[in-house]
Amino acid sequence: MTGKKKRRAVIALAAISTGFVTAITPSSAAFAACDARPKVTTQYTFKDKKHTSLATNLKSAWVEGPANITYTKTATSTVSAQVTATVSAEAGIVFAKASSSLGVTVGASYSKSEQWSYSKNVPKGKDGQLRMYHDALGFTVTKKVWDGSRCDFRHVYTSKVVAPKKTGEDYWKLVTRKS
């Protein structure tokens, strides 16, 4: 029997044995005093860590194959994390805690200015486009907050996140579609 159930049983027995029976609710003083309030009243847990990539804003025009496609330009590559509105409201906290917990520094966005020059062959029967990607980390975050009336943590949300790595690599992929 857990501490909470033992407390309820002792209170119920004491009330019955003294003849003093009243409605005892979780909001009563007897239940308001939890064993101890935790030092940390908001918990973030991270799981399902997966290395992946996010498409940046840099891409070439579509070219019909067979052909060689080249992208040469001085530009700024940018990419933003994929998060829900709920996580977005506290993104700074989530990304800081995720970086610490998962051992990879991630953030809400990433940008880099450079001279880019890449070429790829587009196969016959396909249209091709060069697209830049940036290393990212996918994970699931769960937030719980301490609920003193229940003497337990209450689930607030669980959400999937894909965030760019702050020190990740940029690379180009040939994206194709049928002509």
Which of 48, 162, 159, 50 lies closest to 108, judged by CA? 162
The model's pTM is 0.76
State the total domains in the chain: 2
Residue 22 has pLDDT above 80, yes or no: no
Are 74 and 101 part of one and the same domain?
Answer: yes
Mean pLDDT of 122-143: 97
Closest CA to 48 of 99, 102, 1, 8: 102
Both 29 and 43 in one domain: the answer is no
Whether residue 70 sits in one domain with residue 13: no
Residue 111 has pLDDT above 70, yes or no: yes
Query: Using 50, 70 and 90 to split pLDDT, how confident is the model at 95?
Result: very high
pLDDT over 90 percentage in the chain: 74
Checking if the pLDDT of 65 tops 90, the result is yes
* DSSP H/E element including 10: helix 3-17
pLDDT value at 15 more than 70: no
Longest dimension (CA), the chain: 92
pLDDT surpassing 70 at residue 151: yes
Domain match, 61 and 140 both: yes
Residue located via tokens 């049983």: 9
- Residue 2 has a pLDDT of 54
CB 49 within 8 A of CB 103: no
Same domain, 81 and 158: yes
Find the domain containing 17 and state its range: 1-33
Q: Is the pLDDT of residue 12 over 60?
A: no
Using CA atoms, how far apart are residues 15 and 26, in angstroms rounded to an integer?
A: 15
For residues 146 and 159, membership in a common domain is answered with yes
Please, what is the Cα angle at 120 between 118 and 123, to 5 degrees? 165
